[in-house]
Chain A
Amino acid sequence: MGRARRIGLALLGPALALVVALVISGLVIAAIGENPFAALEVITNLGDTPAAQVQSIVVILNRAVPLFLAGLAVSVAFRMGLFNIGVEGQYRLATILSAAVGAAVNLPAPVHVLFIIVVAMLVGAFWAGIVAVLKVTRGVSEVISSIMLNFVALGLAGYLLTGPLKGSPEGAGIVTTAEIPESGRFPDLTGVLTGLGLEEPRSELFGFLVVAVVVGIAISVLLSRTRFGFDLRATGLSPSAATASGVDTRRMVITTMLISGAVAGLIGLPDLLGSDYEYGTEFTAGLGFLGIAVALLGRNSPIGIALAALLFGVLDRAAPLLQFEDIPASVVTIIQGTIVLAVVVGNEIARRLARRSAERAGAAATGAPPDAGDGGGGGGPDLPGGPDGGQRTYTGVPGQPEGVRP
Chain B
Amino acid sequence: MATAGGPSDRPLQGGADGDGGHPGSELAVELRGITKRFPGVVANRDIELSVRRGEVHAIVGENGAGKSTLMKTLYGMHRPDEGTIVVDGRETVFRSPADAIAAGIGMVHQHFMLADNFTVLENIVLGSEPTRGGRLDMVEARRRINGISARYSLGLEPDALVEELGVGDRQRVEIAKVLYRGARTLILDEPTAVLVPQEVDELFRNLAELKREGLTVIFISHKLDEVRRVADSITVIRRGTTVGTADPKTTTVKQLAELMVGTQLPTPATRESTVRSTVVLRMEGATVRNADGRALVDDVHLTVREGEVVGIAGVEGNGQAELVDAIMGLRPLSSGTLTLGDDDISAWSTRARREAGIGLIPEDRHRQGMLLEAPLWENRILGHQTRPPAVKGPFIDRRGARADTQRIMSEYDVRAPGPDTLAVALSGGNQQKLIVGREMSASPRLLLAAHPTRGVDVGAQAVIWELLKDARAEGLGIVLVSADLDELIGLSDTLHVMLRGRLVATVDPGAVTPEELGGYMTGARTAAGAA
Contacts and interface: CB of A to CB of B under 8 A. Distances in A.
A8 B191 CA distance: 43
Contacts of A238: 366-367, 370-372
Contacts of A371: 426-431, 455
Contacts of B417: 1, 361-362, 364-365
B351 A248 contact: yes
A70 B386 CA distance: 32
A244 interface: yes
A404 to B, nearest CB: 8
Given A245-B385, A246-B354, A366 B416 contact: yes
A383 B111 contact: no
Contact of B391 (A227, A360, A370, A375): A227
Contacts of A375: 109, 111
A373 B424 CA distance: 8
Interface stretch (B39-47, B87-95, B241-249): B39-47
A164 interface: no
Given A365-B416, A375-B111, A401-B325, A230 B427 contact: no
A246 B378 contact: no
A230 to B, nearest CB: 6
A241 B385 contact: no
A337 interface: no
B429 A241 contact: no
B350 interface: yes
Contact of A385 (B64, B367, B373, B378): B373
Contacts of B425: 355, 358-359, 361-363, 370
Contacts of B455: 371
B3 interface: no
A373 B425 CA distance: 10
Contacts of B111: 374-375
Nearest to B428: A371
Interface centre among A242, A362, A371, A372 (most CB of B within 10 A): A371
Interface string B443-476: 0000000000001010000000000000000000
Contact of A244 (B109, B296, B350): B350
A296 interface: no
A271 B47 CA distance: 69
A26 to B, nearest CB: 34
B415 interface: yes
A368 B368 contact: no
B423 to A, nearest CB: 9
A392 B367 CA distance: 13
B383 A244 contact: yes
A300 to B, nearest CB: 13
B328 interface: yes
B350 A366 contact: no
Interface in B98-143: 109, 111
Contact of B396 (A3, A227, A390, A392): A227
A230 B378 contact: yes
A367 B64 CA distance: 10
A232 B231 CA distance: 51
B293 interface: no
A406 interface: yes
A406 B366 CA distance: 20
A68 B256 CA distance: 63
A122 B68 CA distance: 55
B330 interface: yes
A227 B372 CA distance: 19
Contact of B421 (A361, A402, A403): A361
A293 interface: no
Contacts of B368: 240-241, 243-244
B367 A241 contact: yes
Interface centre among A358, A375, A390 (most CB of B within 10 A): A358
Interface in A377-406: 377-378, 380, 383-385, 390, 392, 401-406
Contact of B373 (A224, A246, A390): A390
Contacts of A237: 371-374
B367 A402 contact: yes
B40 A364 contact: yes
A232 to B, nearest CB: 11
Nearest to B429: A368
A368 B239 CA distance: 9
B424 A380 contact: yes
B27 interface: no
Given A362-B426, A366-B415, A383-B424, A244 B371 contact: no
Contact of B424 (A358, A365, A406): A358
Contacts of B69: 369
20 contacts: A225-B395, A227-B386, A234-B371, A238-B372, A241-B368, A243-B350, A244-B369, A246-B349, A247-B350, A358-B422, A361-B421, A361-B425, A365-B416, A370-B427, A371-B427, A374-B111, A383-B372, A384-B372, A401-B325, A405-B296
Given A246-B352, A366-B415, 20 more contacts: A225-B396, A226-B396, A228-B394, A230-B385, A230-B396, A234-B382, A241-B367, A241-B382, A355-B424, A356-B39, A358-B422, A359-B40, A360-B38, A362-B425, A369-B69, A370-B424, A371-B427, A374-B366, A375-B111, A384-B373
A-B pairs, top 3 by smallest CB distance, nearest first, are A362-B425, A246-B351, A371-B428
Interface of A: 1, 3, 224-231, 233-234, 237-238, 240-248, 355-356, 358-378, 380, 383-385, 390, 392, 401-406
